[in-house]
Structure 1
């Protein structure tokens, strides 16, 4: 067993794998069917029909994370479900993941100890990677009530929720007033949006678990660990793929290369094309693929359309900072700047809660953070760096403008052709 960021992971030639931080099982006890996700064609993202799950206890006998991975072109990032034990008995699910046999078995272990799944929450309207799992997950727990964010939509046709697989008799819209829900004694929540994006909309609901002082969010803020998370390490091939400098490189499976691949994945996932990444001409990419050895052609037939500059780590260090909170560059450039005042008002409300931990649906978790740090992450939407008359830190967390170049070009193109409304002025 290796140790990374305090979490054990499966060695490639090991005989055991992590189920959670407290329990490790022999690999011989696990069947490939345990990871099966047969509805993957609905959202054809890697690892397609095979999704492994790691359960981690976050707050003792109260909150658990269930991590899986997903991505495109081996750009794999965690996707996370959070399970919370209710004081009144039973469990609440925030943002379900793929209900594989392994995942359902791990959930049922909690059900056996703490009671049935009472509530399932879909906290977004635009995240298909979250929405696609809710209906299939709910079918495993036929007594659970399903609550969804208002103003749900689908593309290319705006279909009824029942057509999207959600159980019609037990699915309801989250009320604007969080005190109107059956779990109001234990949770408060705040809705951001819907933000008009032309062909679609964006919305997110942040949940505050009062007893544990924990904030649950979907996409709005995140933090990036220096080393790859445990769930990514279960299959290190994507990390080694992105650790290459040339298509023909044969990368040793060592911790330094896993870290290198992870950090490049983070840059690609959050910027698309940061300053330090050059995309070669496709004729050159094809020529390089034809020259590649059979061993190096394992991933995408030898295609490797990446050329990293020697100082690429500078972009990662700026992105990660010291592990503090930030808003993903994609959200900064293409979404939240369409509704700066609404976003700031929402962030103010969330920051009025006394949370000590934040659990996002992607990247690192849990994040130890205070309300003022959450609020500070949204200062990119403000003209003034000082926030709320000194209640919050005056220093923002700006990311290097040079890394935003590709996102700015995408934004300008979408505006030019009238696909999305233009960004609004900062507040």
Structure 2
């Protein structure tokens, strides 16, 4: 049996029949009924991350829970993941050493990939109080949280003032939103652990690693699938192939349709599928509807930069541009905390970053970022505009149809 590895090294468990997630039909995305977990100690005896994966069409990325030790003993859990047997065993090991789970935090309101795990997770930690971001909603029906499995007597709405919570001595938090999006809304709660100078965020900030994270490499099938050039390719399992697949996955996850991708017609895709060596159900019956341009890696290099922080393109073009002032005010508040590292719920973590770097990531919402931010001597190295073509078309279509309100001008 494995445990959370100290010193930033990763340990992974290997218990058979311990990875089952029986509630997968609620959110039927890869890896469906089997979820592995990797636990990593980020700050010795203080912070641990629990990584699992999720994805569609083998575009798999990490989804992350963070566990923080409380000064008075016990644990706070930020953004729970699926409570599989493996995950729970690792949690029980932490409880045995550091005390029981006292608080469970849901930092988003619309992200089903986070919300779906909170109720099941809370049932295994019956003394823990559950705190959720305000203005919760669900789709397609806006159901009460108790109908979604949240414990009735133990679930509380995070107040605007952190001092009103029982963990205010160690944490501060800032609520972004809600940003109204017609039929839905978006919000996120950033948590600052003063004890370790660590910032916890959900979806607002990401950083892309050059190599696939360990959790994605436990089963490399998705990496090798996206390393192919055509349906007939047989890809050797090497670190180079895994890296190639991962970098293409990142382009899909960030842009949906990156500029360096040529999408064949469905007729061509099915004709190519007939040439595939792997025509199993796992391999989508040979379907591989992608044709990458020879210089595709330039798009990944432009995306990753030097491991910079940035706001995901979908948030830039479809969500936060509808509340630029509110978002900048929130970013300014968060940047006022003296953190040394950031742990997001997706992609790379932990990220050694300063408050200034965090603030800089939101300058896409400003007309004159280098001047109005008052923090930077150079420009903010925006993502290439060509990569936003599809997302901007979606944004314009949603706005013209009246489904979502129009985006607002930069401040």
1:337 to 296, 317, 321: 321
**Could you tell me whether the CA contact under 8 Å between 1:36 and 1:50 is conserved in 2?**
yes
Q: Is 1:195 matched with 2:179?
A: yes
1:269 to 229, 242, 253: 253
| Residue of structure 2 equivalent to 1:354 | 338
Q: Is 1:239 matched with 2:214?
A: no
Q: Which runs of 5+ in 1 are unaligned?
A: 1-15
Q: Map 1:363-374; keep pairs closer than 5 Å.
A: 363-374=347-358
| Residue of structure 1 equivalent to 2:65 | 81
**Matched residue SS, 2:121:** helix
Q: Is 1:59 matched with 2:38?
A: no
| Residue of structure 1 equivalent to 2:408 | 424
Structure 2 distance, partners of 1:26, 1:49, is 17
- Tell me how far 1:288 sits from its aligned partner: 1.1
Structure 2 distance, partners of 1:49, 1:188, is 36
Structure 2 distance, partners of 1:115, 1:131, is 25
Structure 1 distance, partners of 2:143, 2:221, is 38
Q: Is 1:204 matched with 2:188?
A: yes
**Could you tell me whether the CA contact under 8 Å between 1:379 and 1:387 is conserved in 2?**
no
**Could you tell me whether the CA contact under 8 Å between 2:223 and 2:242 is conserved in 1?**
yes
- Tell me how far 1:290 sits from its aligned partner: 2.2
| Residue of structure 2 equivalent to 1:44 | 28
| Residue of structure 2 equivalent to 1:411 | 395
Structure 2 distance, partners of 1:22, 1:396, is 32
The alpha-carbon distance between structure 1 residues 370 and 131, as it changes in their structure 2 partners (threshold 3 A), is same
- Tell me how far 1:141 sits from its aligned partner: 0.3
| Residue of structure 2 equivalent to 1:219 | 203
Structure 1 distance, partners of 2:40, 2:121, is 19
Q: Map 1:127-206; keep pairs closer than 5 Å.
A: 127-206=111-190
Q: Is 1:397 matched with 2:381?
A: yes
Q: Is 1:102 matched with 2:90?
A: no
Deviates more, 1:389-398 or 1:103-112: 389-398
**Could you tell me whether the CA contact under 8 Å between 1:70 and 1:77 is conserved in 2?**
yes
Per-residue deviation, residues 313-362 of structure 1 (Å, max 9, x unmatched): 11100100000101111110111101000000000000000000000000
Q: How many residues of Structure 1 are paired with residues of Structure 2 in the alignment?
A: 409
**Could you tell me whether the CA contact under 8 Å between 2:234 and 2:277 is conserved in 1?**
no
**Could you tell me whether the CA contact under 8 Å between 2:269 and 2:287 is conserved in 1?**
yes
Q: Map 1:115-134; keep pairs closer than 5 Å.
A: 115-134=99-118
The alpha-carbon distance between structure 1 residues 294 and 71, as it changes in their structure 2 partners (threshold 3 A), is closer
Q: Which runs of 5+ in 2 are unaligned?
A: none
**Could you tell me whether the CA contact under 8 Å between 1:228 and 1:262 is conserved in 2?**
yes
- Tell me how far 1:418 sits from its aligned partner: 1.2
- Tell me how far 1:394 sits from its aligned partner: 3.9
- Tell me how far 1:299 sits from its aligned partner: 0.9
Per-residue deviation, residues 21-70 of structure 1 (Å, max 9, x unmatched): 6675785xx21x21000000000010000000000000000000000000
Structure 2 distance, partners of 1:249, 1:288, is 11
**TM score, norm. by length of structure 1:** 0.93
Structure 1 distance, partners of 2:167, 2:47, is 16
- Tell me how far 1:305 sits from its aligned partner: 1.1
| Residue of structure 1 equivalent to 2:303 | 319
